Amino acid sequence: MIIVMQPGAGEAEIQAVEAKILAHGLSVHVSRGTERTLIGAVGDERVLDPEMFDPMPGVEKSMHIVKQYKIVAREWHRENTVIDVAGVPIGGPTVQVIGGPCSVETPAQMSAAAVGVKTAGARLMRGGAFKPRTSPYAFQGKGVEGLELLRSAADTQGLPIVTELMDARMLETFLKYDVDAIQIGTRNMQNFDLLKEVGRVNKPVILKRGMSATINEWLMAAEYIAIGGNHDIIFCERGIRTFETAYRNVLDVTAVPVLKRETHLPVIVDPSHAGGKAWMVPALSCAAVAAGADGLLVEVHPNPCDAWCDADQALTPSEFAVLIGQLRAVARAIGRDL
C-alpha cells in the first residue's frame, strides 16, 4: 500500500502514519520528494485498508498496490482452472452449454425440457426451484418439490443439474438432492453469509454478477467463497443495469476477457437474462463464445408461451438445437469445441 501525504505534511503526521503501519506488522519505506512524501507499507498489505489512513492528518490519499483478492487471482495461479461438474469439465477447451427452463413447473414440462436439452447436445440442465422475483405476488418457484422434479427429469437423460440457492438454511436440502452446481443469483452476489456457507461445501458454485457490480466487487465476492475452502467457482456474466431500456440488461461482453485476465477460474455467460428476448439470445451467445466464454446458461422451455416465468426470453428445443449448431461453428473458429 502507498500513502500519499499532502504537500507540507509535517514530520509528526508522517511518523503517525509510519507508526500505524508498523503496528500492523508491516515495514515502512519513506520516499521524500520536493513537494510530497510517499509512504510505502511493505508486507502483506491486505491487513490494511485505505479507510485506516485517509482520515489521518496530513494524508492526501492511500491505495492498494496488490490485488485484495488472492485465491481467485491469476497472479497466484497462472494456469486455467478446469472445474468438474459431475463429470462435465468447465474451463477447458470445450465450451459447455447449460440449458433448461427458468422455473420448474410440471413433470411433463421438465421431462420435455430435459429431452430437448439432451437432444440438442447440451451436457448440463438448469431449472429454478426457488425463484427470486421483483414482485412478491409473482410465482416464487415450487421449492423442494421443484428440486425433486428437476433431479428426476435430468436423471432420466443423464444430465447434471444447476439450480439457484437463495437461503443458507436450504443448503442441506440442496446437498440431499445432490445438486451438481449451486447457483448464487445476481441479487445474492453480495449476500456474504450465503457466500460463506457455500464456501464450506464441496460443490461447484456458479456466481452470477450483481446488477450494478464492478469487476472488483464480483471478484471479491468469489474470494468470500474461496476463503472458506471451496475453490470450485464459476463466474457468470448476466448483464448489468444501465440507462438503456431497449433490452432487459446490457451484456458486458468486455467482462469476459477482463475476467479471464484477472482470474484463473472459468467464466460463463447467461445471454437469456441479458437480452430478455428470445430473438437476442443467439447473437449474444455467439458473441460470448467469440469473446472467450467457457460456457453458456441458456433458458429452454418446451412451450415458451405457456412459461410461468420469463416467457419472452426462452428458446424452444428446436431453436436451442439450431443455436448449438451455430455455437459449434464459432467455437471451432477460435480453436475450441462444443
Residue 213 and residue 145 share a domain? yes
Q: Taking the chain, what is the end-to-end CA distance rounded to the nearest angstrom? A: 44
In this predicted structure, the answer to whether residue 304 has a pLDDT above a threshold of 80 is: yes
How far apart are alpha carbons 134 and 142 in whole angstroms? 17
How far apart are alpha carbons 2 and 89 in whole angstroms? 41
Q: What percent of the chain has pLDDT over 90?
A: 83
Q: How far is CA 293 from CA 50, 99, 312, in A?
A: 34, 16, 24
Q: CATH number of the domain at 107, please.
A: 3.20.20.70
pLDDT (0 to 100) of residue 34: 82
Q: Note whether residue 304 is domain-resident.
A: yes
- For residues 183 and 206, the answer to whether their CB atoms sit within 8 Å is yes
Q: How far is CA 16 from CA 60, 139, 257, 258, in A?
A: 14, 57, 42, 38
pLDDT (0 to 100) of residue 192: 96
Q: Which of 314, 221, 306, 309 is nearest to 265 (CA)?
A: 221
Q: What total of structural domains would you count in the chain?
A: 2
In this predicted structure, the answer to whether residue 90 has a pLDDT above a threshold of 90 is: yes
Residue 326 and residue 214 share a domain? yes
**pTM of the prediction?**
0.86
pLDDT per position as a tens digit, 129-162:
987 777 776 776 778 999 999 999 999 999 999 9
Which of 39-53, 97-111, 293-307 is the least confident region? Answer: 39-53
Strands in 2-95 per DSSP E: 2-5, 27-32, 37-42, 59-63, 83-85, 88-90
Residue 10 and residue 54 share a domain? yes
Range of the domain at 44: 2-63
Alpha helices in 215-305 (DSSP H): 215-226, 255-262, 271-275, 281-290
pLDDT (0 to 100) of residue 46: 78
Residue 46 and residue 113 share a domain? no
pLDDT (0 to 100) of residue 308: 87
Residue 172 and residue 97 share a domain? yes
pLDDT (0 to 100) of residue 27: 92
> How sure is the predictor about 178, in pLDDT bands with cuts at 50, 70 and 90?
very high
Q: Note whether residue 69 is domain-resident.
A: no
Residue 315 and residue 291 share a domain? yes
